[in-house]
Structure formats: C-alpha cells, structure tokens
Amino acid sequence: MTIITHSRETGTLIRGTAKGDGSNTILKAGGWRWSRNLGTWYVPNTRDRAARGHIINGTAEQLRAAGFTVEVDIDDTARPTADVEQDKARRAGERAEALADKAERRAAAADQAQESARAADARLPEGGEPIKIGHHSESRHRNAIARADRATRRAMDAGTEATQAAERAETAALATERRYNPVTVANRIEALQADQRRAERRLNGHSRTLFTVGEQRYTEDHDPAQGEEAQRLRARIQELTDQINHWEGVRAEQIAAGHANSYGHENINKGDQVKFRGGWYEVRRVNRKSVTIPSMIGGSWTDTVPYHELSGHQPAAVF
C-alpha cells in the first residue's frame, strides 16, 4: 500500500515505495525529491502551505496506472502562525549549524590540500632546474611536476569549496534576522492584507470596472463563492487573519523597542524633512501610506516612499 499524506506540519510525503519498484521515475517527473533524513520522497516547499492538489492527485493517478494501490490522506488545517515561525527559526538554526560545521571541515581540507601542494613543490629540483631530456632523471622530474600541478589544483579547488561553504553558512546564519528585518515585516503585513482583501472579494463577490466611455461604466461582475470554494476561502481568510495578527504583534514590539518607526500621515506634514537611505529630503506630498520626496537621482522627478522605509523625521520648523 502506497500512501500520499499532507499536513501543514510535515508537508507532502509518500510512504510505501521501495527501491526498484519503478515509482521513482513517476515521482521524479512529478517534482518529488528523495530525503535521506526522512527516508522517503517529499514535495519541496509544502510545509505550512496548502496542499497542492494537482501534484498529489496527478501522482496518485500515475501510480495507480502503473499498478500501485494508492491512498491519499490530506489534513489541510493551518497551524498557528506562532508555531510555524518557531519551527522555521529552529530549522534555520539547525541548518546554519550544519553548514557552519561543513564550512569548518572544508576549511580544514583546504589547509591540508595547501600543505600537500607545498610539499609537492618542495620535492621539485631546486632553482627551477629544467628537465634534462634523455637523462635518467627525466621521467622522475616530469612525474614530480605533474604531482605538484595536481596538488596545486586540488588546493585551489578545496579553497574554492571552503569559501563557498563559509558563504552559505553565513547566509543561513542571517536567515532569521533578515526575516524579522523591520522593513521586511512591514512589507509582509501589507502583502498579507492584500491577500486577505482578494480572498474576501472572491468570497463575497465583487464588481470590477473594465473601462468607461463617457458616463457609461462597463463592469465585470463576480458572484459570491459557493460550496467547497467558499469553504476554502473562509479557511484561507482565517489563516491570513492569524498571520496578520502575529506579524502586527511583532511590528508593535519592534516599534516599542525603537527598532522600527511609527510614522504615518498623522505625524508627518508637507515641508517636513524625512530620512531615506541615508539622505534627508523635503516632503512634497503626504499620502495615506507613503510620502512623496524629490528623486534621489535629481531633476524634477519625485519618488514615493512607504512610511515604514523611512529612518528619520524632523518637522519643518525644527530641521
């Protein structure tokens, strides 16, 4: 019995396949990957995401057509955002630690390869003595040069691998920090709110203006969602609401700690000075979610900057 399972905590997995049973060809073609840690096939990037029905159902159909008995077990209940973020931080920490260990091993291997290269160079004749053609030492001399060249190449390759491993380890170590960057958090909140509005429009139905001719408006009407689609949208809205509440709490903590600003159209006025990417600019216009400032490249152009990307503010009378 082959069972395809999906939950938000584990992602999409498959159990009951065996080496040599022919399932690997179907799974690889369907976007599945083998995990040595899990000891099973999985679909990448499916943890804490809605089940991808087209992959799950498509794989099940192909396996059945190949003679497998397949069951599908899907639990698409969203987990609390706080739990999701805690698990992400834990996995990021484990990955950073593993990559740091790997970088250390690569660095040790590079040092050893460099030492071997120096030893191979030391065995060459002193003073760069040329090869004596026809002499009994010719073969030994050529072999020594070849060994030195190979050792140097191994040392160079090992050094490159060590550098790449160190860069990956550094990137992994900064993953959680970057995820919680104040600007990133604010952008994430706006993106989630936009997703929520779209889901609500699809659930409740809406009209969209296509174009206007004179006073005549031509619209496109969408009826409220029904049945399974409505249930899916309600679950999605509930999930988005939990995510928004979580990240708004994170942002509130960042503002209280002084790591993020609380600027808005309520406390910034036209003529004030605001700091953006290290420079101060006069506010030309105050908008609901942004300010308009002179363009950083000069000329008569202007730039629109969201409030959460500002790093300083001075009223016009103070600056």
**What confidence tens digit (pLDDT) does each residue in 212-249 have?**
888 888 888 899 999 999 999 999 999 999 999 999 99
Distances in whole angstroms, Cα of residue 246 to Cα of each of 139, 145, 174, 187, 276:
72, 64, 21, 14, 27
Instruction: Take residue 291 and report the two structure tokens written for it.
Output: 């300010």
State how far the Cα of 73 lies from the Cα of 75, in Å rounded to an integer: 7
3-state secondary structure of 71: strand
**What pLDDT is attached to residue 138?**
66
* pLDDT for residue 129 is more than 70: no
* pLDDT for residue 137 is more than 80: no
State pTM to two decimals: 0.80
pLDDT per residue over 65-82, tens digit each? 999 999 999 999 999 999
- Band (pLDDT 50/70/90 cuts) for residue 210 is confident
3-state secondary structure of 174: coil
Kindly state the average pLDDT of the residues 293-297. 88
pLDDT per residue over 268-285, tens digit each? 999 999 999 999 999 999
* pLDDT for residue 133 is more than 90: no
State how far the Cα of 35 lies from the Cα of 99, in Å rounded to an integer: 17
pLDDT per residue over 27-80, tens digit each? 999 999 999 989 999 999 999 999 999 999 999 999 999 999 999 999 999 999
State how far the Cα of 240 lies from the Cα of 306, in Å rounded to an integer: 22
Instruction: Take residue 252 and report the two structure tokens written for it.
Output: 């509130």
**What pLDDT is attached to residue 163?**
93
- Band (pLDDT 50/70/90 cuts) for residue 251 is very high
* pLDDT for residue 186 is more than 70: yes
- Band (pLDDT 50/70/90 cuts) for residue 96 is very high
- Band (pLDDT 50/70/90 cuts) for residue 191 is very high
Kindly state the average pLDDT of the residues 104-118. 90
**What pLDDT is attached to residue 22?**
93
Element (H, E) at 127: none
